[in-house]
């Protein structure tokens, strides 16, 4: 029954996508992040749902009057250069079936990322996409948070099968990345819709519990970092500080001894004291660094394979995956690819900072300032938690990048429009606030 219901929903979406290409963006985000077809029990699980929706969306977009240009700001330029470099490293690498499948998947993600950017032309569209992304991922946060409460933290929380964040470490990071987005969406909700405000607040709390319930050590590091930056960049610093101060000891005492024992191993007195999992990461990181020094093009999409460990690792027999976004890119694409990839996020941070500077003192653009700050918080979660797991090609961080770019374009467009004379008189700033929400 669940399979049939999901199939009917997907079929019903097709004519709407053909009529409105941007609706295809929303459905694509829903399929990509929630992977709802994996929640079925039968035939729906193996259906090429993403391929069907993607094809319909592309046809609708190509034959529509929607803009076909993307804004070439610095993050996008470096994103394009990074993609070109990935193609080069792919050409230079050994092309086994795994490499071919990875290359196809990653290029598809990059292609759709750029198309989505072209369609994020208004504030309304930016926020609609964020609602879909945050709620699609938040579903697993709410589900995992409830499970953590039911098991008193004893059961480990996992993500959806078939998605980028199936693993416990990946799920923890993903939930913490959307936490600032949920914060922003809650801010937009009008005061009279208190049920929705409380619902989003509960979802945020359950996402944190689910992230801790994954028992991911990297997740805890990301949780601390995103909590600090939420306090630093969010409004109502006193309320945020009180919430963190009151919730921390309660959650800490709630988690079981097994969780405390695992988290206690985050910092050890010396390298030899770490467990086998961490030792394996150190070994793979050194292997990636040594390989990047020897190979300008890196090891390709299958860089962390046994042959390379024999050549470059301190312990050749200890073969591990990258377990770090930084060393994953370094091992796959060498130092040139690493610096191009890093430049994407550094420029994104800089663009967000510029947007904050343009809008922070404008009552009618406070929403843009807050959104830019929350996107920075999400990037901090990715930078901190990603240091311990390999999610360098995940859709979500690239969606954050294009959202920052689209936000800056929308803000500059509004500011430029205000400078245009209307009936011989220039626009005046800040006369009519446009915030839909209010500070609590």
CA-based nearest residue to 180, from 134, 239, 236: 134
Q: Looking up tokens 């693993």, which residue turns up?
A: 167
| pLDDT, mean over the chain | 89
Contacts of 288 (CB under 8 A, 6+ apart): 299, 303, 304, 312, 322, 327, 328, 330, 331
Q: Given pLDDT bands bounded at 50, 70 and 90, which one contains residue 426?
A: low
Nearest C-alpha neighbor of 177 from the set 28, 400, 404: 400
Ranges 55-59, 271-275, 397-401: which has the least confidence: 271-275
pLDDT tens per residue, range 2-18? 888 888 999 999 999 99
CB-based contact 351:404 (threshold 8 Å): yes
Residue 196 · residue 137 · CB < 8 Å: no
For the chain, give every domain's residue range: 1-66
| pLDDT value of residue 388 | 87
Alpha helices in 360-437 (DSSP H): 366-385, 395-419
The rounded distance, in Å, linking the Cα atoms of 265 and 220 is 12
pLDDT of residue 299: 92
Q: What is the CA radius of gyration of the chain?
A: 22
Place of tokens 């499948």: 101
Give the three-class secondary structure for 360.
coil
DSSP assignment of 79-103 equals: HHHHHHHHHHHHHHS---HHHHHHH
Residues ≥6 apart with Cβ < 8 Å to 293: 335
More confident call, 375 vs 67: 375
| The two three-digit tokens of residue 148, written as one number | 């953590």
- The per-residue pLDDT for 440 is 42
The pLDDT-based confidence of 431 (bands split at 50, 70, 90) is very low
Q: How far apart are CA 304 and CA 312, in angstroms?
A: 10
Predicted confidence (pLDDT) per residue in 353-394, tens digit: 999 999 988 888 999 999 999 999 999 999 999 998 889 999
Inter-CA distances, 33 with 37, 50, 133, 134, 397, Å: 11, 11, 7, 9, 12
What is residue 416's predicted lDDT score, i.e. its pLDDT? 87
- Asked if residue 37 has pLDDT above 90, the reply is no
Higher pLDDT, 156 or 326: 326
The reported pTM is 0.90
Average pLDDT of span 253-277: 79
Q: Shortest CA distance to 378 belongs to which of 216, 182, 137? A: 182
Question: What integer is the mean pLDDT of 251-259?
Answer: 85
* Confidence band of 422 (pLDDT split at 50, 70, 90): low
Across the range 24-35, mean pLDDT stands at 93
Kindly state the percentage of the chain with pLDDT values over 90. 62
Least confident span in 88-97, 248-257, 318-327: 248-257
Average pLDDT over residues 210-230: 90
Confidence bin at 287 (pLDDT 50/70/90)? very high
Q: Look at residue 421 in the predicted model and tell me its pLDDT.
A: 63
pLDDT at res. 341 = 97
CA 407/CA 365 separation, integer angstroms: 11
Query: How far is residue 363's CA from residue 29's CA, in Å, rounded to a whole number?
Result: 31
- In the block, which residue shows the tokens 């989505």? 116
Residue 168 tokens, joined = 């416990």
The CA distances from residue 272 to 135, 276, 360, in Å, are 42, 10, 48
pLDDT at 439: 43
Question: 3-state SS string over 51-72?
Answer: HHHHHHHHHHHHCCCCCCCCCC
């Amino acid at each position: 029954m669940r399979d049939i219901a999901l199939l009917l929903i997907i079929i019903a979406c097709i004519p709407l996508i053909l009529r409105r290409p941007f609706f295809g963006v929303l459905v694509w985000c829903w399929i990509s992040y929630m992977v709802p077809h994996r929640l079925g029990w039968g035939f729906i699980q193996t259906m090429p749902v993403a391929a069907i929706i993607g094809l319909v969306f592309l046809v609708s977009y190509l034959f529509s009057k929607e803009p076909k240009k993307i804004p070439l700001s610095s993050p996008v330029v470096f994103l394009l250069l990074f993609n070109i470099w990935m193609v080069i490293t792919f050409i230079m690498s050994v092309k086994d079936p795994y490499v071919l499948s990875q290359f196809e998947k990653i290029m598809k993600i990059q292609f759709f990322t750029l198309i989505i950017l072209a369609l994020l032309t208004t504030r309304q569209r930016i926020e609609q996409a964020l609602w879909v992304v945050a709620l699609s991922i938040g579903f697993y946060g709410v589900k995992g948070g409830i499970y953590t409460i039911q098991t008193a933290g004893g059961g480990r929380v996992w993500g959806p099968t078939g998605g980028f964040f199936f693993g416990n470490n990946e799920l923890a990071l993903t939930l913490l990345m959307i936490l600032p987005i949920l914060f922003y969406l809650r801010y937009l909700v009008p005061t009279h819709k208190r049920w929705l405000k409380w619902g989003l607040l509960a979802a945020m709390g359950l996402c944190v519990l689910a992230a801790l319930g994954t028992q991911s050590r990297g997740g805890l590091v990301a949780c601390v970092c995103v909590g600090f930056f939420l306090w630093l960049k969010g409004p109502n610093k006193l309320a945020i500080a009180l919430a963190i101060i009151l919730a921390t000891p309660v959650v800490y005492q709630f988690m079981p001894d097994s969780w405390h024992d695992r988290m206690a191993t985050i910092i050890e007195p010396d390298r030899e004291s770490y467990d086998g999992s961490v030792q394996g990461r150190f070994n793979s990181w050194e292997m990636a660094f040594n390989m990047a020094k020897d190979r300008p093009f890196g090891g390709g999409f299958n860089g962390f394979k046994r042959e390379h460990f024999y050549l470059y690792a301190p312990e050749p027999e200890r073969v591990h995956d990258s377990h770090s976004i930084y060393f994953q890119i370094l091992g796959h694409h060498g130092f040139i690819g690493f610096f191009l990839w890093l430049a994407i996020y550094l420029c994104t941070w800089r663009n967000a900072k510029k947007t904050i500077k343009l809008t922070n003192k404008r009552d009618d653009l406070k929403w843009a300032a807050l959104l830019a700050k929350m996107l920075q918080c999400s990037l901090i979660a990715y930078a901190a938690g990603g240091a311990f797991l390999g999610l360098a090609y995940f859709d979500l961080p690239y969606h954050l990048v294009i959202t920052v770019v689209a936000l800056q374009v929308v803000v500059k467009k509004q500011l430029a429009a205000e400078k245009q004379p209307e009936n011989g008189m220039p626009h005046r700033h800040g006369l009519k606030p446009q915030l839909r929400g209010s500070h609590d």
